[in-house]
Chain A
Amino acid sequence: MSEHHIVTPKTYLKNLAVLMVLMALTIIAAKWPVLHISQTVNLAMALTIAVAKMMCIILIFMHVKFSSRLVMVFASAGFFWLIILLTLTFCDYASRFWHSPTAVSPYLG
């Protein structure tokens, strides 16, 4: 069998610990009133932590850190295309009522 990288239990355990800490952080960031800055900032914090957790899982648990470049490209392709979908759709929703400032937007008003 061609050699797949063997990741040690110690690395897995460390990764689990980091994931648990990040989970605690995301709850604190959302529920601790001191950190209630604005919806946007809170969303950004939540998403940043979620992305960090995702990277921990992908890189360590899913071995991407130890895989070929081709696997890295394949692993990122879905996310890249997802960003296209989100960005261009938001282009529409963000600008849908720009040209009629007097009209009350049913969405953003």
Chain B
Amino acid sequence: MSAAHNEPAHPGNAARLIELYYEQGWTDGLPVVPPSEESVGAMLAAAGLRGNDLIGEVFERHARLTADKVAVNAVLAGCRPAYMPVVVAAMRGLLHKDYHYHGAATSTGGSSVAVIVNGPIARELEINSGTNALGPGTRANATIGRAVRLTMMNALNTRAPKLDRSTLGNAGKYSLCFAENEAASPWEPLHVERGFKAGESTVTVFAAEGHIQIYNQLSADAETLCRTMADAMSQLGSMGIVGQPQTVVIFAGEHQEVFRKAGWSRARVRQCLYDHARRTIADAKRAGRLPGRLEPKDESTWRHAVARPEDILMVAAGGDAGAFSACLPGWGSGTLCRAVTTRIERP
């Protein structure tokens, strides 16, 4: 896409430019905010970057991502300049080799990018971690995730039906950004577990299938709640049964409280989820998810939804009322694509 337009902010011009961006195929289907040299410059300044600073590369696509491209798309998405360091950190994470951008972004699996923000910046930018954290209505959540997707589409050529081959896609591909509710969590924050200091701000990016909501209003028992969650993690139609990708589990308020009261540590919850999120080889073969003739031993041989307990990423988010949590099954396999946590850098 070309450089930002330098048009005066006249409402008629804005409407015309919005149509122009549609005509060029530079939107996600929703109207965009037409960029100007000034608004793009403000984005770059907020992240302490120059336009030609390299953010990362996608070898398979022979593509380089520079800061000006991220800035233009952050404006298009409706971001405030203060969000730009979060968007940049997310893009650095996506272009880290562990994420395997080309596979996750191109695949028929149609993954969304879950953008999970931790640390002081989440509160400063008022990124929603509470009621309706995964839903619409909060500018930071809506536009940070959208900026990531627009950058993927416009700067990294991730467009259907060419280099985005999502069979169905999912609604999270518009935006799936939320913060961890660190204050309410029974456990240490996600980024601390992943090696950062509590006072640092980070973004964790994760290639996710659509989220599966987990409902259990009756249980006040940690073990039974884990069994409910594990069932959602181990459905036969998920990619997990074969590829064992990582899984994010989002614990909302009432369920957080069950684990807090039970005194269960993060490690204990995760082990319990791992233990129960499994299917027999016989189940997988009967569903045609694994090849081969059914053998007697298949009835007692287990395949877990993730390869090891550490592949379950636990995050606290959502409202304090309602017995709902969720899991975000990962895309692909645990060896091909992994969540990446990146420090958010500000000038």
Q: Bound pair: A and B?
A: no
